[in-house]
Structure 1
Amino acid sequence: MTWDVLNVIGTMAFAISGAIIAMEEDYDLLGVLILGLATAFGGGIIRNILIDVPMSTLWEQDILIKVTVLIIALIFFIPEGWIHFTKGWLNFFDAVGLSTFAIQGALYAYSAGHSLTAIIMAAVMTGTGGGIVRDLLAGRKPTVLRYDIYAAWAIIAGIFIGTGITSKPWELYLLCGILITLRLFSAKYRWKLPHRYLQTL
């Protein structure tokens, strides 16, 4: 049940994020749908490839895919004033998607009996994969790799779940809330990891 809830929340959050970015780049309806779906399901697809989960599991989520398409279409057709209001929540949707998908990916790998390293990788790629796909398809530099602390929160999710510190449903939801809060604070206050820039000769 926890996996299912986190999966739905993360999918909807990333779908909205992808749709808003697509409209910022002036994509047509089909482009908005494709980018929204790629953002919503990209992380899960990358995770499945990494930990050898059959790709057919994606098509088993037929109802979720249909609901995601409806949500994206709703975002596309709502009045512009509502779009600007929704856009103001973009960091929030992104934080929710990151946190819920990171936990979901870690749980998936943990239940499959993978090592701690694999669990952390599953958390990172599930939590950040959709955002990376979104930014690349939108012609942007992935924020995950460049601007602020992002993937670090997914790593924390993988560590907590992989070591068994967090396992009960209420603990997972608490972890999710903490990660969302940390991600929002890192975006607001521009927390950054050390950078090193090499100038080309």
Structure 2
Amino acid sequence: MTWEVLSMIGTLAFAVSGAIVAMEEEYDILGVYILGIVTAFGGGAIRNLLIGVPVSALWDQGLYFQIALLAVTAVFLFPANLLKHWQKWGNLFDAIGLSAFAIQGAIYAANMNHPLSAVIVAAVLTGSGGGIIRDLLAGRKPIVLRSEIYAVWAILAGLVVGLKIAANSWELYSLFILVTVLRVLSYTFDWNLPTRRLRGY
């Protein structure tokens, strides 16, 4: 049940995030739907390929496709004067999607009895894969490749799930809230990982 709830939350959040980015880039209606769907399902598809789940499993998620389509439609039909205020919420929806999908991906890999390393990789790919594809299609530098802290929170979720620190429902929901809050804090206060610049050499 926890896995399903996190899947719904992640699908909704990333579909909205993808749609908002597409509208910021002034894509047409088809582009908005494509970017919303790709953002919602891209990470899970990449994860499935790497941990040995058939790609066809993606087509068994009819309910999640409906959720994504409804979310994108709602964003697209949202009044333009109000949508301007909603654009700043794109990062929040991205944070929610990252957290929900990172934990969902980790649970998925852990239930298949994969080692800790695979659980962490599954968390990172599921949590950030859709966002990477979204940013690339939108012509932006992927958030995960910037100095801004992003994938670290997915790694944290993978570690906690992989080490069975969080196992029951309330622990997993608490982890979801924690990772979301940490991601929000990291972009609000501009927390960054160390970088080394080579310009001028």
Q: TM-score, normalised by structure 2?
A: 0.97
Letter in 2 for 1:64: Y
Letter in 2 for 1:16: V
| Aligned pairs for 1:1-201 within 5 A | 1-199=1-199
TM-fit CA distance, 1:85: 2.6
The answer to whether the Cα contact below 8 Å between 2:44 and 2:129 also exists between their aligned partners in 1 is yes
User: Over residues 4-56 of structure 1, what are the superposed CA-to-partner deviations in whole Å (9 max), with x where a residue is unaligned?
Assistant: 00000001000000000001111000000000000000110011011011112
Letter in 2 for 1:136: L
Runs of 5+ in structure 1 lacking a partner?
Answer: none
The CA RMSD over aligned residues, in Å, is 1.1
Letter in 2 for 1:138: A
CA–CA separation in structure 1 for the residues paired with 2:63 and 2:174: 27
CA–CA separation in structure 2 for the residues paired with 1:52 and 1:197: 38
CA–CA separation in structure 2 for the residues paired with 1:150 and 1:90: 15
Look up the SS of the partner of 1:89 in the other structure: helix
CA–CA separation in structure 2 for the residues paired with 1:67 and 1:190: 32
* Number of residue-to-residue matches in the alignment: 201
TM-fit CA distance, 1:69: 1.1
What percentage of residue pairs aligned between the two structures are identical? 55
CA 1:61–1:200 in 2, change beyond 3 Å: closer, same or farther?
Answer: farther
Letter in 1 for 2:101: F
Letter in 2 for 1:134: R
CA–CA separation in structure 1 for the residues paired with 2:98 and 2:47: 14
Letter in 1 for 2:141: K
